[in-house]
Amino acid sequence: MHAGVSQTIQPGKLYEGECEVFKEHVRLCLALDASGFVIERELRQRDGTIFNQVVPVDREADLFDFSAADPYEPKLQRIYEALRRHYVEASALELPPVDHGDPIHAIGELAACRSEGQLLFKARAIVAALGGTQFVYQWLRFDGDSTASGDAMETRYLAGCRPAWLQQYLARLWYMNDAWIVYARNNIAPAVTSQINLHREDHWLRTEAKSHGFVSGIVLPAHINRGLIGVLQVSNDIAAPAGEQTLWENRVLLRALSAALLDWQVSHVRKTAEFAYHLTADETIVLKTLRYGGDAGNVAEQFGISIHTVYKSIYQRINRKIGVSRINEAVEKATIAGLLD
């Protein structure tokens, strides 16, 4: 419990540290949200692939479990020690309880969340009200417009589960043969996990998952354009079929939660890009024209200017704002950010 009130520690980032480990970049951040503490771990691999975890910290033991399961913990020991110090200092705060009210109303309020931490705590309360004890939400961006093919370039996790689970899941590369993700990439309908598990009951992955509380589960994909998907995986510790039945009966609201989480992430990325790029309405029109098959001639005709002006002025200005050297790269970045919908 977080007892007492501190007037000197305000919600926001409490500590951040980063380190290069085996040519990979790791960033760790401890933040205080209005609803609680979260730790964020970002791993940038040498090929540019990004894995980002946002994990709740309810007690000091959660930090210990999270760090102990980190394969790079020996290299990150100094940063983890600093995170613990800042957590202990700030944990004197008395935090308001998260409202466990009507799930329908709570899902509708998710769009107003200001941070992933706030989103995480609200989602955790909703999942608990709908029969889940553990959940993981994944936002995956692929290198192309199709989610059924291509490689994941960026994955963000909201981890409403035991802190050590995702560390092991990523360190042991379990995501590379996760039947739930394969299903979500190719389907839009929810499914209980017993319908899509490719492994036998005593397979090591299923055994490990059960040891972390993932006994019965349901997978709820949410798809959008631009090679993006959201995957909500909700589990409880009740054996099938009873555990799955509880989740299946709430599939409509859980599916709405999955879609709302994806909508929030897309909106957040778009707002961040709008703030960073400062594109004018006309510049956005130019990028949309190119995105949907147009060329410099179409742009010139739209604005009543020469093709030379398009190349030497319009394109170059857009490239400078977005931080690229070619207009096709600008289109790609703007598309990923959701600015061209």
* Tens digits of residue pLDDT in 171-203: 999 888 888 899 999 999 999 988 886 666 666
pTM for this predicted structure: 0.86
Residue 175 CA from chain centroid, whole number? 15
Q: Let me know the angle formed at the C-alpha of 60 by 55 and 64, rounded to the nearest 5 degrees.
A: 75
Same fold, 12-271 and 278-336: no
When pLDDT is cut at 50, 70 and 90, the band that residue 336 belongs to is: confident
Nearby residues of 1 by Cβ (< 8 Å), 6 or more positions away: none
d(CA 328, CA 297): 15
**Which DSSP string corresponds to 225-243?**
TTTEEEEEEEEESSPTTHH
Q: Which pLDDT value is given to residue 4?
A: 37
* Tens digits of residue pLDDT in 275-325: 889 999 999 999 999 999 999 999 999 999 999 999 999 999 999 999 999
The CA–CA distances, whole Å, from 52 to 23, 29, 252, 303 equal 17, 11, 28, 41
Q: Is the pLDDT of residue 261 over 70?
A: yes
How many CA atoms lie less than 13 Å away from 188 in the CB half-sphere?
7
Domain ranges (residues) in the chain: 12-271, 278-336
Query: Average pLDDT for residues 52-76, to the nearest whole number?
Result: 96
Dihedral pair phi/psi, residue 152, rounded to 5°: -70, 125
Q: Which pLDDT value is given to residue 92?
A: 79
The CA–CA distances, whole Å, from 288 to 263, 266, 336 equal 21, 18, 13
* Among the listed residues 169, 172, 167, 171, the one whose alpha carbon sits nearest the alpha carbon of residue 180: 169
Q: Is the pLDDT of residue 6 over 80?
A: no
Q: Specify the CATH architecture of the domain 12-271.
A: 2-Layer Sandwich (3.30)
d(CA 134, CA 214): 7
Place of tokens 């054996």: 239
Q: Please tell me the total number of residues recorded for the chain in this structure.
A: 341
Q: By mean pLDDT, which of 33-42, 92-101, 249-258 is the weakest?
A: 92-101
CATH class of the domain at 278-336: mainly alpha
* Among the listed residues 78, 69, 65, the one whose alpha carbon sits nearest the alpha carbon of residue 28: 78
Place of tokens 């409509």: 252
d(CA 265, CA 156): 10
How many CA atoms lie less than 13 Å away from 199 in the CB half-sphere?
15
Q: Which pLDDT value is given to residue 3?
A: 39
Q: Which pLDDT value is given to residue 7?
A: 45
- pLDDT above 70 coverage of the chain, percent: 90
The CA–CA distances, whole Å, from 184 to 21, 68, 203, 293 equal 32, 30, 21, 29
Task: Tell me which of 6 and 105 has the higher pLDDT.
Answer: 105
Q: Which pLDDT value is given to residue 207?
A: 77
**Which DSSP string corresponds to 246-273?**
HHHHTHHHHHHHHHHHHHHHHHHHHHHH
Q: Which pLDDT value is given to residue 105?
A: 94
